[in-house]
Structure 1
Amino acid sequence: MMKVRSLRRALVPPSLLPNPSPASLQSTRLSLHVNEEGSSSSVFVASGCHAYKVEVAMEDCPVEEGKDSLLIPIPAKIMNSSRVRRCPHRSEVQSLALADACDMGLVLGTVDSYGHAIVSVLDTGSQDIERLTYSALPLDCGVGEGSWAGLCFSPNQWSTVAVARSFCKSIDIYDQEIHLRSLHTLWNPASICFVQTVIGDGGSSIIAIAEGCQLSIWDLRVKQNGGCIQRITGTLGSPFHAVCSSADGSVAVGGADRSVTIFDCRRWSAFSRWVNCSKYEITGLAFSSLDADHIYIQSVDYEVSCGNWKKNNKVFSFRGDSNWLGFSKHSTTDTIAGWCDSGNIFVADVGVQQ
């Protein structure tokens, strides 16, 4: 049984960031890293042309329930906050992503509205030490109209990065600053993720893309059809906003139809569908690391919930106080965080009840 051990609310210091810039519907301008001791978490957020780092204390505390069984957050202490000075973007940052390079440390990737990506190796301590930094430009040098852009790292190789640009309907694959290939979608991409397959060598050459009302699957090793190996159409008129993958290769997708569908990567067929799991459109998804039968769901009504998608049962939920600017889960633990345009960051630490 999943249980929330602590739920914290921390305000980004107004002296550091007085007014966050507006975000898209499926905003991805937050990424989370939990320190090794588990006593604090480093939350990276983006506003305007800059990225910021906020360290939030993570002591366990009793969690109380309010109306409709919603969990009530407790104010948290900001241990440290600063601006990340190695992300010199010229336009608004649209997405943040973190990767753990065991031999080098923590890797932060940012991408702006024109597809310019900057990847920096960070020091896990409190100081912003200058280390490896590189940038990658799209082939058209970002000419045209700006739009939402997304970024994700390969789970097996942090130097491999996929950058999505919604307006251009393209996905660019890079190995550090070297452009490997481009994928061209039929609709505007809204979310991307690498898929860890359970067949073959277990590599991560498969990419899942939520575009319009379709979930498209792409294999970087394939040349036919531009690399697209599967297209799955959802409810017409209800676009997908979020896609995520679990460690066993399952892929979840959700969007305007307020439902989550789980696909098997071996046959690319749906083996579960949780209908009406959210009151409003779904804009963020993440599988649990403790139990892959559970999934975290973010929606536009400020709510984040956790539920068992096999039993279609909601376990717990909490709400932010305004529109979400970002939502993220730590890669190896069940710590989730969301950032609202009020400046408040909500961090939940989830464990298994004995």
Structure 2
Amino acid sequence: MVELEAKSLRKAVVPSTLIENPSPGNIQSTRLALHVNQDGSSCWVYIASGCNIYKLQIPLEVSLLSKGKEGLLIPEQIEVLDSFLVNRCPHRSEIQSIVLAETENTSYSVLGSVDSYGHLIVSKLDAAGKDVDRITYSVLPQDIDIGEGSWAGLCFSPSQWSMAAVAHSFCKTVDVYDQDIHLRTLRTLWYPTSLNFIQTLGNGNESSILAVTEGCQLTIWDLRMKENGGCLQRICGSVGDILYAVCSSSTGSIAVGGTDRTVTIYDPRRWAALSRWVHCSKYEITGLAFSSIDSNYIYVQGVDFEVFCGQWRESDKVFSFRGDSNWLGFSKCSSRDVLGGWCDSRSIFVVDAATKMSEVNALEDLGNGSSLETVQH
């Protein structure tokens, strides 16, 4: 197992000319998405406030890290390189979630957003972040005449970006779309709080299995199944504890966290808990993301402004940092260990993690020694 470390931690402030007062967010901080440029020198951070989406460029150069009390990383204050309003069709109510999907074609990416009534807008962006088709497609919620606005979540299939799932908390529904075609509606028992397509189960059906947290339950849905409304499995946690976050790793493991301050890892082949990192956070857990370098590491975001990286098997924290106010958005790049979060103070934090340099050097020395031995023989 490799060892991870933070290479840099940057803090930038959104210009007041762009956003003066961010709109208040739900406890689930899902109003940020980020994309690292091909040369790795900077990243584009997308944030949602009110009915609009904004884009900021943050540099990612390696810098010296300093630590404060309890080993917390101290961010380096930097300036935003560029910032502007994303030119696309705006929502009519407050945006609740934004997601950036990486495509096989590196020349463009896909940006999706959903507002408090479940209205979905998807745009195809070029390398510069401009909307290629002005708007790719827009889908109105199936229950448009029902209820009030509430938190809404969004996720894309990792193998087919045209497939998206939208959770609408107040209506207790998850709608699945293939672009603008509505495929089916899943009915949850409790208010859904997070959703994620399971990346792989080893048998090629990664586009059809959806994990949803609702109340104290983790529910698994098979989009091809008709029985039980498509619900494949229900895993109940402690009664009264609400789950706020779910994510899956490249190996298929599923992690959940919530008010019990515990990260639980499940094996989807047996639907049993592989590990429980009990009380790893001081307060409620509202964000989770497995490392892209090694799935034995997981990033955890809590209500008390803290974000940390740790080995979930060993229940061991590797590094951590804190925001300066309530989180409005938290996300990890889909292909790299670059995380971003933004606060209602307009501060944006970006951390870049990688394999420890001592370990990289050791592997390089081993490789050079092997090559020399081969030549001598």
User: Which residue of structure 1 lines up, in the alignment, with residue 291 of structure 2?
Assistant: 288
Structure 2 unpaired stretches of 5+: 360-377
Amino acid at match of 2:349: F
User: Which residue of structure 1 lines up, in the alignment, with residue 317 of structure 2?
Assistant: 314
User: Which residue of structure 1 lines up, in the alignment, with residue 372 of structure 2?
Assistant: none
| Structure 2 SS opposite 1:78 | coil
The answer to which structure has the higher helix fraction is 2
How far off its partner does 1:170 sit? 0.1
User: Which residue of structure 2 lines up, in the alignment, with residue 35 of structure 1?
Assistant: 37
Match for residue 77 of structure 2 among 71, 75, 78? 75
Match for residue 257 of structure 1 among 256, 260, 269? 260
For the residues of structure 1 that align with 2:220 and 2:29, how far apart are their CA atoms?
Answer: 22
Aligned 1:55-74 pairs, distance under 5 A = 55-74=57-76
- CA deviations 1:71-109 (Å, max 9, x no partner) are 000012311111112142000000000101223611000
User: Which residue of structure 1 lines up, in the alignment, with residue 329 of structure 2?
Assistant: 326
Amino acid at match of 1:280: Y
RMSD: 1.1
User: Which residue of structure 2 lines up, in the alignment, with residue 188 of structure 1?
Assistant: 191
For the residues of structure 1 that align with 2:272 and 2:331, how far apart are their CA atoms?
Answer: 26
How far off its partner does 1:210 sit? 0.5
Match for residue 89 of structure 1 among 88, 91, 97? 91
The answer (yes or no) to whether the contact 1:116–1:142 under 8 Å persists in 2 is no
User: Which residue of structure 2 lines up, in the alignment, with residue 155 of structure 1?
Assistant: 158
| Structure 1 SS opposite 2:274 | strand
User: Which residue of structure 1 lines up, in the alignment, with residue 363 of structure 2?
Assistant: none
For the residues of structure 1 that align with 2:101 and 2:308, how far apart are their CA atoms?
Answer: 25
For the residues of structure 2 that align with 1:3 and 1:87, how far apart are their CA atoms?
Answer: 40
The answer (yes or no) to whether the contact 1:258–1:281 under 8 Å persists in 2 is yes
| Structure 1 SS opposite 2:27 | coil
- CA deviations 1:135-190 (Å, max 9, x no partner) are 01122225420000000000000000000000000000001111000000000000
The answer (yes or no) to whether the contact 2:110–2:124 under 8 Å persists in 1 is yes
Q: Which moved more, 1:100-109 or 1:175-184?
A: 100-109
User: Which residue of structure 2 lines up, in the alignment, with residue 100 of structure 1?
Assistant: 102
For the residues of structure 2 that align with 1:285 and 1:100, how far apart are their CA atoms?
Answer: 19
Q: Percent identity?
A: 60
Structure 1 unpaired stretches of 5+: none
How far off its partner does 1:127 sit? 4.7
The answer (yes or no) to whether the contact 2:146–2:171 under 8 Å persists in 1 is no
State whether structure 2 residue 133 is matched by structure 1 residue 139: no
For the residues of structure 2 that align with 1:300 and 1:32, how far apart are their CA atoms?
Answer: 21
Alignment: residue pair count: 354
The answer (yes or no) to whether the contact 2:87–2:130 under 8 Å persists in 1 is no
Amino acid at match of 2:68: G
The answer (yes or no) to whether the contact 1:7–1:72 under 8 Å persists in 2 is yes
Choose 1 or 2 for highest CA Rg. Answer: 2
State whether structure 2 residue 270 is matched by structure 1 residue 267: yes
Amino acid at match of 1:168: C
For the residues of structure 2 that align with 1:321 and 1:269, how far apart are their CA atoms?
Answer: 37
Match for residue 51 of structure 2 among 44, 49, 52? 49
For the residues of structure 2 that align with 1:196 and 1:97, how far apart are their CA atoms?
Answer: 16
The answer (yes or no) to whether the contact 1:87–1:110 under 8 Å persists in 2 is no
- CA deviations 1:194-247 (Å, max 9, x no partner) are 002333225221000010000000000100000001000001111100000001
For the residues of structure 1 that align with 2:334 and 2:348, how far apart are their CA atoms?
Answer: 18
Amino acid at match of 1:107: V
For the residues of structure 2 that align with 1:185 and 1:3, how far apart are their CA atoms?
Answer: 39
- CA deviations 1:264-305 (Å, max 9, x no partner) are 011111111100100110000000011110100000000000
For the residues of structure 1 that align with 2:68 and 2:110, how far apart are their CA atoms?
Answer: 38
- CA deviations 1:37-78 (Å, max 9, x no partner) are 100000000000001111101111011100111000001231
State whether structure 2 residue 5 is matched by structure 1 residue 8: no
How far off its partner does 1:128 sit? 5.0
| Structure 1 SS opposite 2:81 | strand
For the residues of structure 2 that align with 1:275 and 1:218, how far apart are their CA atoms?
Answer: 26
Do the aligned partners of residues 126 and 187 (structure 1) sit closer, same or farther apart at CA in structure 2, a change above 3 Å counting?
Answer: closer
How far off its partner does 1:130 sit? 4.3
User: Which residue of structure 1 lines up, in the alignment, with residue 27 of structure 2?
Assistant: 25
State whether structure 2 residue 165 is matched by structure 1 residue 169: no
Deviating beyond 6 angstroms after TM superposition, the runs of 4 or more aligned structure 1 residues are none
Do the aligned partners of residues 126 and 166 (structure 1) sit closer, same or farther apart at CA in structure 2, a change above 3 Å counting?
Answer: closer
Do the aligned partners of residues 189 and 74 (structure 1) sit closer, same or farther apart at CA in structure 2, a change above 3 Å counting?
Answer: same
For the residues of structure 2 that align with 1:190 and 1:320, how far apart are their CA atoms?
Answer: 22
Match for residue 206 of structure 1 among 171, 194, 209? 209
User: Which residue of structure 1 lines up, in the alignment, with residue 375 of structure 2?
Assistant: none
How far off its partner does 1:131 sit? 4.6
Aligned 1:211-226 pairs, distance under 5 A = 211-226=214-229
